[in-house]
A and B are shown apart, each in its own frame.
Chain A
Amino acid sequence: MLTLTPSKKRTLFFVAMGWALLLIGDRIGELRQYQGSFVAMYALAIGSIILLTGYSGQLSLGHSALMAVGAYAGALSINNLHLHPVIALVIATFVAGLFGLLLGFGVARLSGPYLAGTTLALAVSLPTLANQFPILGGEQGVVFDVGLPPARFGENFSQYKWFFWISCLAVLVMLWLISNVVSSRYGRTFRAIRDNETAAALSGLNTGRLKVLAFSISSGMAGLAGGLLVMLISGVSPSAFPLSLSFSLLTGAVVTGVYSLKGVMLGGLVLVAIPEIADSLVTRIGGSEGFTATLPGFLVSALLILAVIFAPNGPGKLLHSFKKHG
């Protein structure tokens, strides 16, 4: 029998996912392609939180700001440097990663609520800073245009399918890289620091440097997610990165199970589904416009509380414990 190493299995799994998504992309309508792109983007952003919190034990409430860094970097490279959108997305990843690295050095000594507080301040302040620099376009922001799909795909190849392809491919590649990282030596050292920083330091690990590394990788992932987000809405502006985005991502991570990258797609699905559910609820029971505007936030908060009470380790663990006891 053919034996596969875990890393080959992982690669095979991602290739299979890619094939599945390619087939799915052909069968669904434009709306689902658009929503699917959002699911992929959210999955990546949630993955960045899981890597940081679940694997390296650091808590960030400021990932929306890191996404904004990537998004602006990508938009500026398209508009001002006239680079190819794919390169712009790579730049988004690296600039956000670099920003995370610098930030990581600054906050490496902080942990728990202090780190959460610092990153929260970042999420509040960073997007509004964009208003101070005319090159960032103020409240109206700057355009992020990936352009029309290549003509060789034919006339029926819609913009949304193009978005779907770009998002899914970018997210699969990134998650494949990250899943390799977390199952490597680095992943083990991250987990060692998470479980007991003192013990990890005593075993000879440079905990400060590793924490900064985790922060930087996580920021890079968030930056790419930010770039994808503004690609989907054709432009980047401070309003694309509200504080509530950080909280939604955190909820997504908690709902998925913060200790494993495996369920990020579920988290993405939940975040895309919530406004839909809110919409249909409002249509069914009737209600004011203000009600529609606030209901998604309420649902996200409620979900976070319920997840923390009933399934703090994610639905996978919950199912597992049901089986054990039941």
Chain B
Amino acid sequence: MIRNTRMKRFSVVSAVVALGAMVFTALPAQAAEPGLTSKEIKLGISTPLTGTAALSYGKVPGAMKAYFDFINANGGVYGRKIKLVVRDDKYLPTLAATQTTNLVLKDGVFALVAALGTATHSKAYAAASLATKKVPDLFVNTGFSGFGNRTKYPTTFTVLPSYAMEAKIISKFVKDKFPGQAVALVAQDDEFGVDGVNGFAAGSLSIASKTLYPQGYMNDARAKALVTGLSAIPGKPVVILFGTTDVTALIFKAAESLSLTSKFTWIAGSVGGDSNTLLALGVKPTTIDGVVAASFFPDAKNTTDQYVKEFTKINAKYNPGVSFDNIVLQGMNSAMLTVQSLRAAGKNLTRAGLIKAIEDKGSTFASAALVPLNYSATSHIGYNGYWMGQLNAKGELKPYGGTLSIVTTDSTTGPITPSTFKRPSMPKNGIPTNS
């Protein structure tokens, strides 16, 4: 009797195994160039759609889709329509890893575009084996200079100027405009923050007080303790916030409740200085008024700019109900870079061909930024400069001191030089015709 049930159980288990095996084997093999047919190019993006990071960056996929829809309505890329598969990673490294793997293995995308974040994307890149599979990894929204490592990230192209460049440019700015003032640096303790810290060292900025905190560590009480500690520095110290926007907001709100906002000159790094998000997180407009920030784009509210004007029109038609801001501008710009890359790779599109096309022709692509694109066979880092501005109470970034001064540099010890860059004009009607 015992033997009988044992046998029965054994047969149930083997039936399950056999079933599993059948399910497993009934799958189609992968095509030579995944995600590509004569009618469609399938691209994938892993980015936060929910959670705090989605407050600002959640608009990126919508903006990109809108631009791709616009291009599809105008004939696509050599007759192929672009399809964007969006997966939500909540800005969590673990989820980014599985979602990116899903994009590559399950959705079978041809290339990845505009992934967000340093910690998220470095994990995702490894988990999804993007290097061994040679999946193009275009226009990653991070300034981590480590992504420029061609051995570790052979298929990655970042779009933002590196954090090291930003830190160097801020260093020079502080030394020029606030000589003799003590400087305090508050940075996130990870690849992103440390990249910045190295940049400040390269920019030989002397820092009186340095605070490094792990992501997820900062809260109301800790922000208040931090601000109280910094207020002991005599004079009007310059405080550089090199973290994410939610932490910038916590620190600003702590300063508000301690009535210490005007004790400091605030400089918010590009990652943590998005004014719309700061306002949405409850920071007072009077606190934001006067905050110094760095940017490489024109202001998204400046409709006299030809790129802003054309993108605003596309946004109104293909992304209805979404207000045009810096994030939408960035999304559309990355989408336009993607279309130009696909065109540059020619009609016989391949993954290797796409990477080569960006290396060869990427630096000539039309783009909204006021600084040059830096792509070449030896560099996969996108923009390489910044201009310093000051936010007003409405959250608009205006050039510091009234005149726009754009500078460029590199991620290491190169000099900081005024830019002589002439921005290519916007393609007619916003439709690239490059090849």
Contact = CB atoms under 8 A, between A and B. Distances in A.
Contact of A13 (B10, B50, B106, B190): B10
Interface string B32-67: 000000000000000001100000000000000000
Interface in B93-115: 93-95, 97-98, 101, 105-106
Interface residues of B, number: 43
A29 B93 contact: no
Given A34-B101, A233-B123, A27 B24 contact: yes
A32 B214 contact: no
Contact of B13 (A234, A263, A292): A263
Q: Is the interface of B mostly helix, strand, loop or mixed?
A: helix
Interface residues of A, number: 51
Contact of A24 (B10, B21, B129): B21
Contact of A159 (B88, B124, B129, B216): B129
- Most chain A CB within 10 A, of B10, B190, B216, B217, is at B216
A141 interface: yes
B93 A239 contact: yes
B299 interface: no
A326 B194 CA distance: 69
Contacts of B90: 239
Contacts of A160: 105, 129
A20 B123 contact: no
A39 B21 CA distance: 13
Nearest to B90: A239
Contacts of A289: 49-50, 86, 88
A220 interface: no
Q: Is the interface of A mostly helix, strand, loop or mixed?
A: helix
Contacts of A263: 12-13, 16
B12 A29 contact: no
Interface string B187-230: 00110000000000000000000000011110000000000000
Interface string A235-269: 11111100000000000000000001011011001
B194 to A, nearest CB: 12
Interface of B: 6, 9-10, 12-13, 16-17, 20-21, 24-25, 27-30, 49-50, 86, 88, 90, 92-95, 97-98, 101, 105-106, 119-120, 123-124, 126-127, 129, 132, 189-190, 214-217
13 contacts: A32-B27, A34-B105, A138-B215, A141-B123, A235-B94, A235-B126, A236-B94, A237-B92, A239-B95, A263-B16, A265-B16, A269-B20, A290-B50
Given A134-B214, A138-B189, 18 more contacts: A20-B17, A28-B25, A28-B27, A31-B105, A32-B24, A138-B216, A143-B126, A160-B105, A160-B129, A233-B123, A234-B124, A234-B127, A237-B94, A239-B93, A260-B9, A263-B12, A263-B13, A265-B13
